[in-house]
């Protein structure tokens, strides 16, 4: 190492810019704000109902009235959007999943109530049949045990239209059937819902990080030992995710999602670089549980690691993140401002 070498130490000292808070702030590339967050919520029937989820500490299933109370607190902190997921009892599950498009179903009533109370809050609904099927799969089951693609797409179209009719701003197909984005887009246009946006779960992997979610919505027991490997993606694949995203964009998706999040940030980066479209990631239930349980055990500082993880999503190229940490992050960001 000599002082005559060009562009190298000691002329270049990377630590100079890191020396003071002001120069660290000036060169910081990624930032996190309330605008980057989407809050998933679990809704259940009833009034005044609140139910803890053992594998998802800090997240509760709420009846609509209590959800509205929570939103009254979080909207002033800058909450931009929620994604409701229904907890459906055995009476609402069937082989045909017909309750998925009931005009007065739980999700449809949730959307209407939330939009009435908070018209400017974005509401994005999950389009998939798993809360409503007796077998817990996202699609309809054929006699041979296969998930029927085209029949499922017809059902998803009915479900998406019922969400749009209830006032959903965004419908988010999370089922991974082929051709569903085009079918939903055409149906929305035909029904005069031309401003309803589609957030496609374009690259959704067959992941074991969904475990606590399935406990939360009560679909793990229905699913039994089955898996979703014939429609969700193989965790080993990345090029296939590019094809999925390209197809969903051609079919009329406005935004695309990568799911899960933290173990798949390489996919986020490729999608953002290749397509330059609104790109979201879902920090799923198992990722939340990992951080939450590690913090509860005293192994990690929850606030510090959660904010660092959020920064990771932003740095990878996410425009927004669906995360169960949304209420905490909104509160921490508000504290930083005061």
3-state class (DSSP) for residue 291: helix
Q: Which of 93, 115, 158, 204 is catalytic?
A: 204
Name the nearest CA neighbour of 43 among 51, 54, 34, 55: 51
Return the residue of 174, 279, 323, 326 that touches ligand PBG, per CB under 6 A.
Answer: 174
Contact stretch for ligand PBG (CB under 6 A) within 1-9, 69-77, 123-131, 185-193: 123-131
The DSSP secondary structure of 188-251, one letter per residue, reads: HHHTT-TT-EEEEEEEEB--GGGHHHHHHHT-HHHHTT---TTTSBPTT-SHHHHHHHHHHHHT
Contact stretch for ligand PBG (CB under 6 A) within 108-116, 122-130, 153-161, 265-273: 122-130
Is 314 a catalytic site residue? no
Q: Which is nearer to ligand PBG, 72 or 95 (by Cβ)?
A: 95
Binding status of residue 60 toward ligand PBG by CB under 6 A: no
User: Total residues contacting ligand PBG (rule CB under 6 A)?
Assistant: 11
Is 259 a catalytic site residue? yes
Closest approach, Cβ 335 to ligand PBG, in A, equals 26
Q: Which is nearer to ligand PBG, 63 or 174 (by Cβ)?
A: 174
The DSSP secondary structure of 148-185, one letter per residue, reads: EHHHHHHHHHHHHHHHHHHT-SEEEE-S--TTHHHHHH
- The kind and range of the H/E element at 139 are none
| The two structure tokens encoding residue 290 | 């990992």
Q: Which of 93, 259, 272, 292 is catalytic?
A: 259
The DSSP secondary structure of 235-284, one letter per residue, reads: TT-SHHHHHHHHHHHHTT-SEEEEESSGGGHHHHHHHHHHH-S-EEEEE-
Binding mask 126-155 for ligand PBG (x = CB under 6 A): x-x-x-------x-----------------
Under a CB-based contact definition with an 8 Å cutoff, are residues 287 and 260 in contact?
Answer: yes
- Taking CB positions, which residue lies at the least distance from ligand PBG? 213
Binding status of residue 284 toward ligand PBG by CB under 6 A: yes
Quick one: how many helices (H) and strands (E) in the chain? 13, 12
Binding mask 285-324 for ligand PBG (x = CB under 6 A): x---------------------------------------
Q: Which of residues 238-267 bind ligand PBG (CB under 6 A)?
A: none
Binding status of residue 97 toward ligand PBG by CB under 6 A: no
Helix axes 106-117, 149-166, angle to 10 degrees: 30
| The two structure tokens encoding residue 3 | 């002082």
| d(C-alpha 20, C-alpha 221), whole Å | 54
Q: Which of residues 194-233 bind ligand PBG (CB under 6 A)?
A: 210, 213-214, 228
The residue ranges that bind ligand PBG (CB under 6 A) are 126, 128, 130, 138, 174, 210, 213-214, 228, 284-285
Provide the annotated active-site residues.
204, 259
């Amino acid at each position: 190492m000599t002082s005559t070498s060009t562009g190298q130490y000691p002329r270049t000292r990377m630590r100079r810019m890191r020396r003071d808070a002001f120069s660290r702030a000036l060169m910081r590339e990624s930032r996190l704000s309330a605008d980057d967050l989407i809050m998933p919520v679990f809704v259940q029937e009833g009034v005044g109902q609140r139910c803890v989820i053992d594998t998802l500490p800090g997240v509760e299933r709420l009846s609509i009235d209590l959800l509205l109370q929570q939103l009254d607190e979080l909207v002033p902190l800058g909450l931009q959007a929620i994604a409701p997921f229904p907890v459906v009892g055995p009476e609402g599950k069937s082989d045909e999943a017909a309750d998925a498009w009931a005009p007065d179903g739980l999700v449809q009533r949730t959307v209407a109530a939330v939009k009435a109370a908070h018209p400017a809050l974005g509401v994005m609904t999950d389009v998939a049949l798993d809360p409503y099927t007796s077998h817990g799969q996202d699609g309809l089951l054929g006699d041979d045990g296969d998930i029927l693609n085209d029949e499922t797409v017809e059902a998803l179209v009915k479900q998406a239209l019922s969400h749009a009719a209830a006032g959903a701003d965004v419908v988010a197909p999370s089922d991974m059937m082929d051709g569903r984005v085009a079918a939903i887009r055409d149906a929305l246009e035909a029904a005069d819902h031309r401003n309803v946006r589609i957030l496609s779960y374009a690259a959704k992997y067959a992941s074991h990080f969904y475990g606590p979610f399935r406990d939360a919505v009560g679909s793990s027991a229905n699913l039994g030992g089955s898996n979703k490997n014939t429609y969700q993606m193989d965790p080993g694949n990345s090029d296939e995710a590019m094809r999925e995203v390209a197809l969903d964009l051609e079919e009329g998706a406005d935004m695309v999602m990568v799911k899960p999040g933290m173990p798949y940030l390489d996919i986020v980066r490729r999608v953002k670089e290749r397509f330059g479209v609104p790109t979201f990631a879902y920090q799923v239930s198992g990722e939340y549980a990992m951080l939450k349980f590690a913090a509860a055990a005293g192994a990690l500082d929850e606030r510090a690691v959660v904010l660092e993880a959020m920064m990771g999503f932003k740095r990878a190229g996410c425009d927004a993140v669906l995360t169960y940490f949304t209420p905490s992050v909104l509160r921490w960001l508000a504290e930083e401002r005061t």
